[in-house]
Amino acid sequence: MWRHVAGLGLVAAVLSGGMAGCASSDDGAGSRTGSGTYTIWDPYPQFDKGSAWARLLDRCGSDAGVTVRRTGFDTTDLTTKALLAAQQGNAPDVLVVDNPVVSTLAEAGVLVPNDQVRIVTSAIEPNLLGAGQVGGQTYGVPIGANTLALFYNKAVLKSAGVDAASVRDWASLTTALAKITTAGKKGITFSAIGTEEGSFQFLPWFWGAGAQLTRLDSPAGVAALSLWTGWLRKGYAPNSVLNNTQTTSWQEFATGRYAFGENGTWQLANAEKVGFDYGVIPIPAEHGGTAPAPTGGEFVTVPVQRKPSRYATSEKLVACLTSTGNLYTTDKTLSYVAPTGVVQAKQVASEPGLKVWVDAVRAAKARTGDGLGTKYPKISQPMWTAVQAALSGSKPPQAALSAAQSAAAAATR
């Protein structure tokens, strides 16, 4: 269940309209609904009142001595509505939001930092907490994480004489793809579409080369884009990757004709339905080891309220939603890897096949981390534009990324 950030462009537009002064009014969400009612907004509209998620919210409210009024929005709609609600003084008491958006909301003054609300995050894996860290403050708690790895078709690899365990770096993966295509099979499919999904899927290769988002056209960045470009030129990957979303890329892999498919934990339920034996390996870094992949997933945050007295109950709701017992159940429902080592160990003990995903999440990075915050989308768009240019053949990798670096530098000044 990957959560994209398509709404960030609209977020920027709303921010330009004056979000800096978004203090709640006395008629905020909490006051409006009564002292015994607390509002929670989340990006899970697929869950109705009878779902396990909705029942958990009700139980957490009951434990805190309040009634929870919950509304589920589409991810993009949620971000926009949260910004507008903050402007109007109607922010919810608790907001579950896509992790790349946390920095945007925090810098806009929409969220309360954890130390003010007394939210404890000492058990959370530091790399997952990074998406909520802005200006020396931490905002919210990750409810779970997903990331990317390589699914593989066991029968296709076997027919080509390829052992999945031999894929440990870029060279061994490319050698495997050569053997597979020589055997008349299809190599690897992924998403390189000109949206955030394309950047999301390119980042493990970009970071796996040692590149940094502050220098898109570094030799390491060029090496990553040259890898993908070379795969297309040699026929190891199909031209369809230029238009593939992560969903259509999965559909290609699910045909059973491809050896590898780059995709995420959110496809695990679908993987059980493909009708062939599959396995999962980490995306390899250029010279070996697991490449850092971007993290997806949501944070449970507390928006600014006019009445600080409400924060104590909001903290109880957050603590309940992110407790060890509740995280295990919720993350299973959402196909997420838990954000704490204790719950991760419990997940692997229950389902050993999740170990590769836990390892991938432990190596993962926040897209807005490294102090990028709201600069990230201004870098991501030039990056996916460069990927499109190189894969389509309109520019060589170096020229494509040099143009991207110039655009990103201008946008983030």
The β-bridge partners of 260 are 152, 188
98 within a domain of the structure (yes/no): yes
Same domain flag for 162 and 129 = no
Tell me the CATH number at 50: 3.40.190.10
Same domain flag for 39 and 107 = yes
Q: What phi and psi values does residue 314 have, to the nearest 5 degrees?
A: -60, -40
What's the pLDDT at 26? 36
Task: Provide the 10 A C-beta neighbour count for residue 328.
Answer: 18
Confidence of residue 330 (pLDDT cuts 50, 70, 90): very high
* Residues whose CB falls within 8 Å of the CB of residue 5, separated by 6 or more in sequence, listed in order: 98, 100, 101, 196, 367, 377
Same domain flag for 317 and 341 = yes
Asked if pLDDT for residue 274 goes beyond 60, the answer is yes
Q: What average pLDDT does the chain have? A: 91
Same domain flag for 206 and 243 = yes
What's the pLDDT at 35? 55
Proportion of the chain above pLDDT 70, given as a percent: 92
pLDDT digits (tens, 9 = 90+) for 340-354: 999 999 999 999 999
Say how many domains are in the chain: 2
What's the pLDDT at 165? 97
220 within a domain of the structure (yes/no): yes
Same domain flag for 182 and 218 = yes
2 within a domain of the structure (yes/no): no
Same domain flag for 172 and 289 = yes
> Helix, strand or coil for residue 163?
coil
Same domain flag for 113 and 218 = no
Least confident of 128-137, 175-184, 216-225: 128-137
Same domain flag for 289 and 304 = no
- In this predicted model, which residue has the larger pLDDT, 29 or 267? 267
77 within a domain of the structure (yes/no): yes
Cα 172 to Cα 133, 164, 225, 283, 403, distances in angstroms: 37, 10, 17, 12, 31
47 within a domain of the structure (yes/no): yes
* Residues whose CB falls within 8 Å of the CB of residue 144, separated by 6 or more in sequence, listed in order: 297, 298, 327, 330, 331, 334, 336, 337, 338, 339
184 within a domain of the structure (yes/no): yes
Same domain flag for 122 and 63 = yes
* Residues whose CB falls within 8 Å of the CB of residue 393, separated by 6 or more in sequence, listed in order: none
The domain in which residue 23 lies consists of 8-145+295-363
Confidence of residue 333 (pLDDT cuts 50, 70, 90): confident
1 within a domain of the structure (yes/no): no
pLDDT digits (tens, 9 = 90+) for 367-402: 998 889 999 999 999 999 999 999 999 999 999 999
What's the pLDDT at 15? 37
Asked if pLDDT for residue 31 goes beyond 80, the answer is no
Same domain flag for 188 and 67 = no
pLDDT digits (tens, 9 = 90+) for 248-261: 999 999 999 999 99
Confidence of residue 22 (pLDDT cuts 50, 70, 90): very low
Cβ(39)–Cβ(69) below 8 Å = yes
Same domain flag for 116 and 49 = yes
What's the pLDDT at 299? 97
323 within a domain of the structure (yes/no): yes
Same domain flag for 378 and 320 = no
Cβ(253)–Cβ(153) below 8 Å = yes
